[in-house]
A and B are shown apart, each in its own frame.
Chain A
Amino acid sequence: MLKRMLRLALVLAIIAVLPDPQPATANRLKVQEFTLANGLKVLLVEEPKAPVVTVQIWYKVGSRNEVMGRAGLSHMLEHMMFKGTPKYGKGEFSKIIKKNGGNDNAFTSQDYTAYFENLAADKLALALEMEADRLQGLLLDDKEFQLEREVVKEERRLRIEDVPPSYLVEQMYAQAFMTHPYHWPIIGWFNDLDAMNRQDLKSYYEKYYAPNNATLVIVGDVKAETALPLVRKYFDGLPKGNPPPPTSIIEPEQKGERRIVVKREAQLPFIYFGYKVPNFRSPDVRALAVLENILSGGRSARLYDALVYRKKLALQVGAGYNELAADPELFTFYAVVNPGAKIADVEKAVLTEIERLKKEPPSDMEIQKAKNQVEAKYLFEQDSIFRQAMLLGTAETAGAGWQYIADYVDKVRAVTKEDIQRVARTYLNEDTRTVGILIPLAQKPQAQQAAGGAQ
């Protein structure tokens, strides 16, 4: 099962290509917002196209809230949320959801921890009741914690240690961010996982798991007039918590390119680099989003066309940008080097495309194509109630507010040629760049052995 983590290798930004409403099709999000007395914010979208609902509770806590030495605490706590309360014992949560025909899981990012249930719309009350139950009073049994820590270490091995590109991504972030908690991986380092104890989890849980630090998102075949009383029934009784302390670490200005090299057994070289860019708080993000599509929005975009198609330097290439990060993050580029191509040539070819944008403006056709992609993507995302809810939860939890999504497309439409060149010149500069290179070591002789037979 997948207690997923979102910042991984090539799937960096969950909202890689951005959504937006499209007035032409009159399909604006119909979000209803409510806030309970204890501070729980509720976002509800009535979406009756299939008899299902997604219930998601988003806590404003992720690896950016952790402290040095306890990297991975948010994610560890996410796992422990399935290990029982006085009312529902270990593992009961998922079993009950499943026997009611639902799927549940959770995911942790740098900025949030979110739990979800996808199930038949008439089971809404069940999901609400159980999420409210584990918002307070989690058992955090020490024996279960010891076991689950081993599971998380297996997850780290599976996702990072044995995946060379993911390993490089982790190293690169640790270079790009020196004081800000984006420095460490969401899943944590082995040492920190080993050092954690039950008390760490308990304090963390008490500090961050409060109705006033959460957003409940409900999207599906439900009506506000029946759903809201249910929300009140289960959540109203939960007391408001102390407001969690704000995190205010600001990454100091980077003054010069940083480089990191990882050498390990691997088949193909991999390049991953990022520039410091603003998040949603800056109006420049829309131009950056259009720029991202011009460079990386498909086969006709500049990076694929140049590196994969024309120069045959890379097997894969792309750019990623998560503007809905709570704190300013990176605008990243990646390339899987074609066997036979030189790493330096690949890096240079990506940089050439970035520099070209600064020198010559993109064509009108390219800009229009990028905007069309953003708009279409917005509608495609709404096809899934789960994705819709994720988008709202992400925007709300990052601090942008769900309204950020609602007028996004209009703002993207307004982006001009000049904006795109300006943001390229402002942000995609060598001095705030951190470059990671994976250099494969020669493979040890293949010690493949067929020990054949049940002899």
Chain B
Amino acid sequence: MALCMAPSFSHAADIKPARVIIENGMTLLIQDQPSLPIVTVNVLIKAGAVHDPDAKAGLAYMTAGMLEEGTKTRSATRLAQEIEFLGAEFNAKATNDFATATLRVLKKDADRGFTLLADLLMNPAFAEKEVSRVRDELLGVLQGEKDDPGTVAGKAFNDIIFKGHPYRRPTNGDEKTVPKITRKDLVAFHDAYYRPNRTVMAIVGDIREAEAVELVKKHFGRWAKKDAAAPPFPSPEPLQKSILKLIDKDLTQATVSLGHVGIDRKNPDFYAVSVMNYILGGGGFSSRLVNRIRDEQGLAYDVDSGFDAHVMPGPFSVNLQTRNAAANQAIAAALAEIKRIRTEPVSDQELADAKAYLIGSFPLRLDTTGKLAGLLTVVELHNLGLSYFDDYPKAIAAVTKEDILRAAQKYINPDLYALVVVAKQAEAKIDAGVVLGGK
């Protein structure tokens, strides 16, 4: 829910990845970092939940989850044993825009690791008995999620702001859609979207470029490319009026999500929005929301704002938790800050501090093989180019106070938003006049 924008790079450091596209269309990004004898692989496949049919929300999520559940030649149990005997770590999951599979393995086991990685990405079995078990597990997880107020609020929030758009659906589906997902659906989804020409693989660690390319060709060379029709995605239906949704649960705190549709990653205002959001609520103890709501009033442990810049415009949201009885007060304070950033220019100091953080913290975003591999795939997904490592700090540095004011006015709407409050409503006593009216 928090700020989840693309990576920010400040100075290029020694990040000079090689970019190689092999014959079947798979894109490789390789960064040799020999300081530790490990290899980290991050695979991004354009097989996200946006491709789920409405009635089968959760399909992409389940497909990614099933990668670990056995291949045509290895049972689920054997696959787990082989990975874990190497001490290796594997994870797979799907989000809205893509699926990711990550592998960490000791350098000495890199070939073995690639054997297993290729097998599970290319040849998942989707055995009926595993499908049925994983489906039941997912239903159990969905039930358990109802105990997490943040998840409940987030799903309700997306349901309102993304009406008519694939981002509306929960990536892991719901109780109605998950039971409908069959082996056949999984096989078809995998066949359509798990293809080398839809795949970006970042390889970071103690491995030379030639070595990495050879490993990939050896293990993934046989993977056949296939084009998938890109369905057109309609824009979300704009809100006609602000929507307040109250969800009653026996909780001590009110969990609040407030906002609307934000920006996509291609948006040229991305950088202005990044700086603006840092000042508003992305900058932790340096942000206005934390200062006003936590530091000055003691109302919340955590409050933030974020623009999730996805392939398509993602949410802009302010999120906080406060004791039930303080919900109106905290929401009013958040609204006041949202309005202020649209009406007054930020101060010179705020601007300078925000830029200094966003630029200066670049190396921290690249300081493990895992972080770097993840960022490389995202840079490629959004076609930011490898010069992005030099471009980002320049783009942040160029943002002006006027840009911020303009971006705030353009991308934040204080009169038309969704507001979800998960709380013990009898205590929260949400006052629509305060939380929707206060103009």
Binding site for B on A (CB under 8 A): 1-3, 25, 27, 47-52, 82, 90-91, 94-95, 98-103, 118-120, 146-155, 157-158, 161-164, 264-268, 297-301, 305, 308-309, 312, 315, 336, 338-339, 365, 368-369, 372-377, 379-380, 382-385, 444, 446-455
Contact = CB atoms under 8 A, between A and B. Distances in A.
A331 B77 CA distance: 26
A452 B36 contact: no
A98 B68 contact: no
Interface string B315-336: 0000001110000000000000
B245 A452 contact: yes
B363 A268 contact: no
Nearest to B35: A49
B385 interface: no
A453 B284 contact: no
The 3 A-B pairs at the shortest CB distance, nearest first, are namely A101-B360, A376-B87, A150-B298
Given A373-B87, A451-B432, 18 more contacts: A1-B285, A101-B359, A101-B362, A102-B361, A119-B361, A149-B298, A162-B251, A339-B139, A365-B85, A372-B86, A376-B87, A376-B105, A377-B87, A446-B248, A448-B248, A452-B243, A454-B241, A455-B432
Interface residues of B, number: 88
B87 A158 contact: no
Contact of A95 (B146, B244, B353): B353
B155 to A, nearest CB: 12
A162 B253 contact: yes
B323 A154 contact: yes
Interface stretch (B185-193, B263-271, B366-374): B366-374
Contact of B147 (A153, A267, A446): A267
B77 A309 contact: yes
B144 A267 contact: yes
A101 to B, nearest CB: 2
Contacts of A155: 301
B283 interface: yes
B429 interface: no
A158 B87 CA distance: 35
Contacts of A1: 284-285, 290, 302
B8 to A, nearest CB: 10
25 contacts: A25-B108, A27-B37, A49-B36, A50-B366, A98-B283, A101-B356, A101-B360, A101-B362, A101-B364, A103-B361, A147-B295, A147-B296, A150-B298, A151-B300, A152-B301, A161-B252, A163-B147, A268-B144, A369-B85, A372-B85, A383-B36, A385-B367, A447-B248, A451-B244, A451-B432
A100 B370 CA distance: 24
B321 A157 contact: yes
A48 B294 CA distance: 37
A161 B68 CA distance: 35
A164 B287 CA distance: 31
A141 to B, nearest CB: 12
B37 A454 contact: no
Given A99-B357, A101-B360, A94 B286 contact: yes
Contact of B302 (A2, A52, A451): A2
B94 to A, nearest CB: 19
Contacts of B250: 264-265, 444
A222 to B, nearest CB: 13
A205 B144 CA distance: 41
Interface in B294-317: 294-302
Among B286, B294, B295, B367, chain A packs the most CB atoms within 10 A around the CB of B367
